[in-house]
Structure 1
C-alpha cells in the first residue's frame, strides 16, 4: 500500500514560516531531561471537575501577574478554536508555555493535569511529550521546534465552582479541550491525540502511545465475518483525519457497518474501542458519555481500512449521531530518527457538545 504521509501540509507550513523570516516560536531551549519522564500520575487528586477547579486555582496562585494575564482568557475568546496539532515551529499558540514555568509551577501544573484527566489520559499525554523529547535531537528539531517544553496551557473563563470554564492543553500531536460546568466535566470535545514515534524508548522508559487504540479497532474488524468486513471496509486510506483542528464544522459522510448489524460480542468490542478515547477524561463524564453512546449504538458506524501493524497505512472511523472518532496510522515519519517507529493522528468529537457550546 502506498505511503499516505501528508508531507504537503508540513511543507506548506514550513514555507510560510520561513518566508516570514522566522519560525513561530524561537524560545530558549531547556534540557528535555528536566521534563521527561513527567511526574507519575497522582491518583490522590481524584480527577473530576471539582478537583480540576481546585488544582487550577492552586496552579494560578504560583504564577506572576504577567503569567496569569497570559494563561487566562474569556470563555468565548476566538483563540479557543485556533488550536493545532502542528509543531511549535509552524503555529503560534495561546496560553502559557511549559518551558516558561519554574520547577514549583511545573509541579503544580502536573498536579492539575492529574486532577483533570483519568490515569489513561495522563499517560497518553506523557507518551506524546516523551515522543517530542525523542524528536528533540532530530536533525529537523531546531527549525520545527520539536521539544517537550513546547506545550501550552490556557484557561478560558475563571476556574471557580460557580462558573463555567474550560482548559486547553496542547502542542505537537496534542490538543485537549475540556469544559467544566457546575463543577463537573461537561465535555472533552474536540480533542486530538497523536504521536511520532509511537513505539520507542527514551531515557530507559519504553513508550507505546496510541498503538493500543489502533489495535482495538483491528480487534473489532478482525472479529467480523466476511460479509460484515465487506460492509465495513473502506476503499482508500485518507491523507489525514477530516475532523481535526480547524475543521470543527466538518461531519464526514457515514460509512461502514452499523452497530445494529453487529453481534452482541462485536458491539462490546466497538464500545471498548470507543472507550479508549472517552476514558481520557475523568470518570464522572466518561461514564455518562459511554451510556449516551451505548444508547445510540445501533446507529453508530464502524469503517476500517489497512493493517494492524504499527508504521503501516491504516485508518478507521467510528461515527454516530453524536460521535466521531478517527484513527490514522502512517507508514512514514517526518523525523529521520523516528523512521519506521510509527506515526498516529486521532480525533475525538462530541458533535452535540464541542467546547461545551460556550464559544461564539
Structure 2
C-alpha cells in the first residue's frame, strides 16, 4: 500500500476523494469520551487482557471476526494517521458499535493505557470532533466515530497478542506477551487543531510535547545548539505509517555531551511519549532508555510557538521520536490553532517482533 504524504494531503483538499465505507459523523456524538476509570484494576497488561475478554463478550463470533486477526496478519502494518476516507482501516469503527460495546471499548483503553495516555486519546478525538464541524468534514470523513479498533492474536497470558486503535492523527500499536507490554512501536500521536475550545471546554493537545522538546533546546548553550540543529523542517515525519524499517541518519547533539540538568530535560521530553503506557511498563522502558542515554541524540529546528514550522528528533539504538509542527492547517476552522504529527518507534521491536 502507498501512503499519501502530508503534501499530497494538501493537494487532495481540492481533489475529489474516493468513497470509503465510513460512518456518518453525526451518528452518535462520541466526544467527550468517558472519564478515565479502571474497572479491572490499575492499568497494566493484565488488566488490558481482562478488559479485552470482557469487550469480546459483547460481540458474537461473526462480529468479532471483523476485528480479531492473526498476530502477524499483513493488515497490521497498513495503519495510518490520515482520514479514513483516504486510507482504509482494519477492524471495527467506534461508530459501528452500540452503546454497550463502545463503553466496553473505552473500559479497555483505560485498562491498557495510563491516565495520561487515555487523556491523549480523548483530546485527539475532541480535536477530530472540532474538525467534524468544518465545511469539508463530510468529504474527508473527519469524525470521532471514524476511529478503528482491532486485536491481533487472541488476548491471552499464554501467547503474544496486540491491539491497534486509531484514526485521523492517531495510530496506537501495542504488543503484549506474558502480561507485559513488549512494545508501543510504531505509534503516531498528532492533532489538528492543538489549542481550541469545543462545547465550552478548552483543550491544549500536543503542545506539551512541543514545549518539552523546546525546553531541551533552550537549555543548551550556543555551541550545543549549533550541533543540535536539525536543519530544514521536513514535509512530514520520516518514520511514519508506511515507513516500517526506516532509520534516519543520526543527527544532532549526543546526550553524552549534555550536562546532568540537560539530560534530565531530555528524559522528561522522552517521557511525554512513553507515558502513554501503564506505569509499570513505562518505568521499565524509561529505565532501559536511561541506561542507553549516552547513545541517544537530540536534534531541533524551529521555535516554541504552536503554529510555526518546527521539527525535533530524539534518536538512539532502540528509540526514534519525531515531532513535526507543520505550521499550517488543513481544516479551515482550525486555521492558526496548531497541527502536529509525532512518531514513537523502537526500531528493535516494531509490532513486538
Q: Within 5 Å, which residues of 2 pair with 1:160-199?
A: 160-199=156-195
SS in structure 1 opposite 2:124? helix
Q: 1:206 to 1:218 in 2, by over 3 A?
A: same
Residue 230 (structure 1) aligns with: 226
SS in structure 1 opposite 2:324? strand
Matched, 1:123 2:119: yes
Matched, 1:8 2:8: yes
* Cα RMSD (Å): 1.5
Report the Cα distance in structure 1 between the residues aligned to 2:162 and 2:154, rounded to whole angstroms. Answer: 8
Report the Cα distance in structure 2 between the residues aligned to 1:291 and 1:149, rounded to whole angstroms. Answer: 37
**Cα pair 1:138 1:337 within 8 Å, conserved:** yes
Matched, 1:41 2:41: no
Q: Normalized against structure 1, the TM-score is what? A: 0.94
Matched, 1:141 2:130: no
**Cα pair 1:153 1:169 within 8 Å, conserved:** yes
Residue 24 (structure 1) aligns with: 20
Matched, 1:208 2:204: yes
Q: How many residues of Structure 1 are paired with residues of Structure 2 in the alignment?
A: 348
Deviation at 1:14, TM superposition (A): 7.9
Q: Within 5 Å, which residues of 2 pair with 1:145-164?
A: 145-164=141-160
Report the Cα distance in structure 1 between the residues aligned to 2:250 and 2:12, rounded to whole angstroms. Answer: 30
Residue 344 (structure 2) aligns with: 348
Residue 245 (structure 1) aligns with: 241
Deviation at 1:31, TM superposition (A): 4.4
Residue 258 (structure 1) aligns with: 254
Deviation at 1:217, TM superposition (A): 0.5
Report the Cα distance in structure 1 between the residues aligned to 2:216 and 2:169, rounded to whole angstroms. Answer: 25
Q: 1:280 to 1:14 in 2, by over 3 A?
A: farther
SS in structure 2 opposite 1:70? coil
CA-to-aligned-CA distance 1:114-149 (integer Å, 9 cap, x gap): 000011111110011000100101011011000010
Deviation at 1:164, TM superposition (A): 0.8
**Cα pair 1:306 1:314 within 8 Å, conserved:** yes
In structure 1, list runs of 5 or more residues that go unmatched. Answer: none
Matched, 1:309 2:305: yes
Report the Cα distance in structure 2 between the residues aligned to 1:61 and 1:165, rounded to whole angstroms. Answer: 17
Q: 1:26 to 1:168 in 2, by over 3 A?
A: closer
**Cα pair 2:254 2:297 within 8 Å, conserved:** yes
CA-to-aligned-CA distance 1:302-326 (integer Å, 9 cap, x gap): 0000000101110100001110000
Q: 1:9 to 1:340 in 2, by over 3 A?
A: same
Residue 90 (structure 1) aligns with: 86
**Cα pair 1:43 1:119 within 8 Å, conserved:** no
**Cα pair 1:185 1:284 within 8 Å, conserved:** no
CA-to-aligned-CA distance 1:177-215 (integer Å, 9 cap, x gap): 001100111111000000000011111211111100000
Q: Normalized against structure 2, the TM-score is what? A: 0.95
Q: Within 5 Å, which residues of 2 pair with 1:56-135?
A: 56-135=52-131
Q: Within 5 Å, which residues of 2 pair with 1:334-345?
A: 334-345=330-341
